Amino acid sequence: MEKFDHIVLGSGIAGLTYALKAATHGTVAVVTKRAKATTNTAWAQGGVACVSSPEDSFDLHTKDTLEAGAGLCHEDIVNLVVREGPDRIKELVALGMSFDLREKPEGGTELDLGREGGHSKRRILHAHDFTGLEIEKTLVAAVEHHPSINVLEDHMAIDLITTGKLGYATEDRVVGVYVLDEKSGEVLTLRSDRIVLATGGCGKVYLYTTNPDIASGDGVAMAWRAGAAVSNMEFIQFHPTCLFHPEAKSFLISEAVRGEGARLVDGQGTAFMPGYHALKDLAPRDIVARAIDAEMKRTGAKCVFLDITHQPREFLRERFPKIYETCAALGIDITTQPIPVVPAAHYQCGGVKTNDRGETTLRGLFAIGEVACTGLHGANRLASNSLLEALVFAHRAFLKATKNHRPTDPIQLPEWRPGRVVDVDELVVIYHNWDEIRRLMWDYVGIVRTDKRLQRAATRLRNLQKEVQEFYWNFKVTTDLLELRNLVTVAALIVDCALSRKESRGLHYTLDYRETGQLFVQDTVMRRV
């Protein structure tokens, strides 16, 4: 058993920010199932939404967030994230992060602020179109040689250890975690009274997603199995513009492209967003995604197009180098050709339920970043609010976790007991179940839903959960098996939450209940019985 003052599961912006702060108060283990820079954060293109201009204000940012969230945002949480954001950005810059600047007409430079859907002002801090990657590099560099931080790469958390599971007749609290060393196959027992979930989202639960392969909902599934409350999992955000090309896998065309004047057009070059919303191409993501879905179904087309050919080549090369180069490598010149795009699963707005300090309903367990449901996003996330939320809640969780902390009684945790298991002899079963989950979620629990489709999904997922659980108990744990176990758990949570919301609101749109009702102006909270 290895003991740490803090254990952080995940190495994205939320996890590493917390780790750096907590390392000033004790030892920290950062557990990450791939290389430490392989995170959802590194894939973020657009930037960080933060009030940074005299033309903007906290009130405007709050108003935009509340409008996007379709009545479910917690206004107190929105206010604290928006108002605390600038100080957290200053800390990031102090670590070495550089955001793009532009020359002012009167001389000197200022922040080059972008604009995205749902924002009334330019407030997106960015580093070209690979902001997340630059943030990740900055944080990794700060963590790499820190004497109090031990980064366990290629290690995957299996399950949280709680006093309830150990049979203690006290308040249930988290005391450790079992972790698989993917290279050796050994299962480690890590001990801590403060465990932070920063594992990101669950985009891989869908067939088409902008997320990397790591996004399998691990944190939500572990928290659920440990007894923590989970909230609002029906609200899965589909990004409207994922590159549609047979050789491109999960490549996002940033919303910032529309912020610079790109228009969504059909195969004949006709702009269609004016018929759906007053903000046209800069409408909130849920509206744009549904509009694209409706146009594709109406015309039978496999995709729509994003046209930014009116902008000069040099501007596009400078502002969107990654998008420009990726498209060019696939034979698409974005200066003369519209970009083929389709919606794809992008961000979970729900997650492990927390308070304003990142605390979950399980004592000692914190959740920060995309894995958490803090109340900021409501029924639909405002573009580029996620990185800001991660910074703010990493700080707030650190303050809570270290304030007047008293070590609990020493507990010797039992070693992992695998039982009479054997090596997985039929990997094809794991891969088949993985594909089946992702396809049924895409077909039945997508942008537009019905009760009938949701019931079909629920029935099949119940059977799949039994199959996966049988696999889990009979075979040695592997990363593939653990991810499948988490994936089917999260898929079932999404479906159960969706079935309980008998209305259309934000990202949850159902043909059976097209109206938004006052009865459902509340979070959907699930807790394992």
Three-state secondary structure call for residue 149: strand
Residues in Cβ contact with 300 at an 8 Å cutoff, skipping those fewer than 6 apart: none
Q: CA angle at residue 337 from 335 to 342, to 5 degrees? A: 115
DSSP annotation of 414: P
How far the first Cα of the chain sits from its last, in Å, is 30
User: Which amino acid type is present at position 374?
Assistant: T
Q: CA-to-CA distance for 190 and 168, rounded, in angstroms?
A: 18
- CB of 509 closer than 8 Å to CB of 293: no
Measuring CA to CA, how many Å separate 428 from each of 60, 378, 441, 489?
A: 52, 39, 20, 20
Mind giving me the DSSP string for 315-380? HHHHH-HHHHHHHHHTT--TTTSPEEEEEEEEEES-EEE--TTSB-SSBTEEE-GGGEE-SSSTTS
Q: CA-to-CA distance for 510 and 501, rounded, in angstroms?
A: 9
Q: CA-to-CA distance for 297 and 315, rounded, in angstroms?
A: 34
285 part of the active site = yes
| Short-list 178, 162, 206, 32, CA closest to 477 | 178
Task: For residue 75, report the phi and psi dihedrals to the nearest 5 degrees.
Answer: -60, -35
* Active-site residue (options: 88, 285, 319, 485): 285
Mind giving me the DSSP string for 4-45? -SEEEE--SHHHHHHHHHHTTSS-EEEE-SS-TT-SSGGG--
| Short-list 373, 321, 336, CA closest to 45 | 321
Q: CA-to-CA distance for 252 and 235, rounded, in angstroms?
A: 20
- CB of 129 closer than 8 Å to CB of 321: yes
Structure tokens at 43: 């894939």
Three-state secondary structure call for residue 478: coil
6 CB-contact burial (10 Å; exposed 0-12 / middle 13-18 / buried 19+): buried
Q: CA-to-CA distance for 254 and 43, rounded, in angstroms?
A: 11
- Beta strand 174-181 with 187-191: parallel, antiparallel or unpaired? antiparallel
Three-state secondary structure call for residue 310: coil
DSSP annotation of 53: S
| Short-list 235, 319, 281, 315, CA closest to 510 | 235
**Residues noted as catalytic:** 285
